[in-house]
Structure 1
Amino acid sequence: MARLANLETEYPVLDSTVRNFCASHGIFSVEDFLIHDLYMLAAFAEQNNSSERLKEGIAQVLSIIDDMHQPWLNGMELLEDAKRNKHVFPTGIQGIDLLLGGGIRVGQLTELVGPSSSGKTQVCLRTASNVARNHMVLYLDTGNSFSPQRIAYFLGKTINPSSAQAKNQFLQKVMSNISCHSVFDIFAMFDVLHQLESYLRCQDGRGGCQMRLLIVDSISSLISPLLGSSSTQGRALMTSTGYLLKKLAHQHNLAVLIINHTVGGEGGYSKPALGDSWKCIPHSRLFLSCDRGSNNYNVSILRHPSMASGKAARPSCRGDTVSSSHGPYQPSG
């Protein structure tokens, strides 16, 4: 969702009069409308000399929000949509790809949950290096965890070019297909996502190398600080974030991979951060954990639109295997 200042060209009613009024009430973007008391805003507009103009502007923003809602689809339309978006991108990690039926799904939001040092960022870097062979990747780094050296290492393990020059050319090609942006608050991420949305609109229908993967490492680092008070603003921003990510995935055939941390739950078990309001947003949720003192890790399905929860894989440095047993994650509550 865009800032109001960027909408005047398309919607002339959102002129400086409307924007200045909104700014005086802390409203600078469409997201701000979602967390504001609109009845109170309308009451303030009534008291203004330009009340009619302001009410037109408010009505226009509400219309923009309504247009962003996806229309109802019947069963056949949903089936056709599933066929169009059945493509997957392999992560390059055999166990995970076998577990997911090929990899992460295009057009959907996949969440990777796990405690600290469980290998979440390594999965993201490995996936980025694999997808960037043929497509462009946008990597949003919220904690200085992006490592081009690790990506180069992963690529070096999987290619065997005929010469050092060929290897270097291949590395340059893949690395140039990965764009990394450091974002340290939710509003900076919104700005990048709005830029991405504009870019994706322009690239649709064009040939050549296209953006096909968005990684956010990690989403919980940006949202968790907003949820510490009784204010509803944090939850509203969290919902807007999820909606925008899913919209980008669905409308532009983008695979979205995000990281979420864990927090303590009932019975001493870990559970995904961000709470119940967030858990219904990702299409797929995977839980990742690492065995202490080894390079072995476990990944299990918490949620998937076409696979049973609890199915697990155990990729390791000695080779990848997949089992149908339950992983180490135990839901609390």
Structure 2
Amino acid sequence: MAPLKSLQVDFPIIDSNFQQFCACHGIFSVEDFLVHDLYLLAAFAEEHCTSDRLKQGITQILSIIDSLHQPWLNGLELWEFSQKSNHLVATGCERIDAFLQGGLRLGLLTELVGPSSSGKTQICLQAASSCARTRLGRVIYIDTGNSFSAKRIAYFVCRSHLANSEVDKVVMQILENIYCVPVYDIFTLLDMLHQLLKDLTSQKCCYLRMLIIDSISSLITPVLGGAGTQGHALMASVGFLLKKLAHEHNLAVLMTNHMVAGEGGITKPALGESWKSIPHVRLMLSRNPSSMSILRHPSRAVADRVEFTVF
């Protein structure tokens, strides 16, 4: 999340007086404005001795929120984006890569949904390992449940056709290219995504090709539910930032999502209808046998399916 105090350097109008005024009304971040009655806030500002400056601050925040919306694209720009998103990063699993016509697409959000033990984390680890084998293939792995395993990464390398003398060198290179970040709540995730966007824009984070979140649902589910809309606003903010990172910096974003009970006891992906449209690619994993089917894809038929082996 972007706290108001972090904006003061770039926007002096959002000073300590403005921040204190907002805090009195439960507003501590840009995202909080999405769920607040701004007409009521403006009315409170009108009663304040520095009302003009407070209203300027409110206008500035609204301008920041407005700038976060994706711009309209003409046909040529959409075509250029589709061409750019044809670049791929292999997952390292031959059957999955063949099924996905080469692997995960740069510039797009890919979501793996499936029950426990269906291979979601395994595919994430294998994809991270495959991407990080090249010098220009750095990976950020956001670990929400202590699922990252360096031993599994080493196992993937040992299974490849390398001489014993090369294995340790390749394992070290891969692990040096994977940055594992433990994140346990949505607020830390938003902070991290905002900082990553800033670092990529200023070119402080070079050669990043993949961002993995295992799992996105464990961070978002706790803030959903109840009568309020703040949870859905936070979820929308996460979705926007991930799309912005993928699109503007040509990253392959890979996320996992668990299953929940639906009508008639039939399981369905967690996070509901609001989240459903955010991933560009949605892949369903099943077990016994391990298989992958397409729920959503820009160029593949829904329900296409392939079996694969989880190592």
TM-score (norm 2): 0.95
- 2:202 aligns to what SS in structure 1? helix
- 1:197 aligns to what SS in structure 2? helix
After TM superposition, the structure 1 = structure 2 runs for residues 246-325 of structure 1, keeping only pairs within 5 Å, are 246-291=243-288, 296-316=289-309
* Distance in 2, Cα, partners of 1:317 & 1:53: 59
- Aligned pair count reads 309
Whether the 8 Å CA contact 2:185–2:219 is kept in 1: the answer is yes
- Runs of 4+ with deviation above 6 angstroms: none
Letter of the 2:83 partner, please give it: K
* Distance in 2, Cα, partners of 1:2 & 1:199: 14
Determine if the alignment matches structure 1 residue 183 to structure 2 residue 183.
yes
Unaligned ranges ≥5, structure 1? 319-333
* Distance in 2, Cα, partners of 1:56 & 1:266: 48
* Distance in 1, Cα, partners of 2:161 & 2:41: 60
- 1:203 aligns to what SS in structure 2? coil
Letter of the 1:56 partner, please give it: Q
Name the Cα RMSD after superposition. Answer: 1.6
1:232-266 deviation line (CA, Å, top 9, x unaligned): 11111111111111111111101100011011123
Whether the 8 Å CA contact 1:220–1:261 is kept in 2: the answer is yes
Unaligned ranges ≥5, structure 2? none
Tell me: CA distance 1:110–1:317, structure 2 relative to 1, closer, same or farther (3 Å): closer
The 10-residue stretch of structure 1 (2-11 or 209-218) with the greater mean CA deviation from structure 2 = 2-11
TM-score (norm 1): 0.89
Letter of the 1:137 partner, please give it: V
How far 1:71 sits from its partner (Å)?
A: 1.6
How far 1:202 sits from its partner (Å)?
A: 2.4
Letter of the 1:301 partner, please give it: I
1:254-288 deviation line (CA, Å, top 9, x unaligned): 11000110111234321101111110111010000
Instruction: Quote the residue 1:326 is aligned against.
Output: none
Instruction: Quote the residue 2:140 is aligned against.
Output: 138
1:35-88 deviation line (CA, Å, top 9, x unaligned): 212112111111111111110001001111111212211212200111122111
Whether the 8 Å CA contact 2:194–2:241 is kept in 1: the answer is no
* Distance in 2, Cα, partners of 1:152 & 1:230: 47
Letter of the 1:141 partner, please give it: D
* Distance in 2, Cα, partners of 1:37 & 1:94: 52
Letter of the 1:29 partner, please give it: S
- 1:308 aligns to what SS in structure 2? coil
Instruction: Quote the residue 1:155 is aligned against.
Output: 157
What is the percentage of aligned positions where both structures have the same residue?
57
Instruction: Quote the residue 1:119 is aligned against.
Output: 119
* Distance in 2, Cα, partners of 1:104 & 1:25: 43
1:97-147 deviation line (CA, Å, top 9, x unaligned): 111111111011110000111110001000000001121101111111111
* Distance in 1, Cα, partners of 2:49 & 2:9: 24
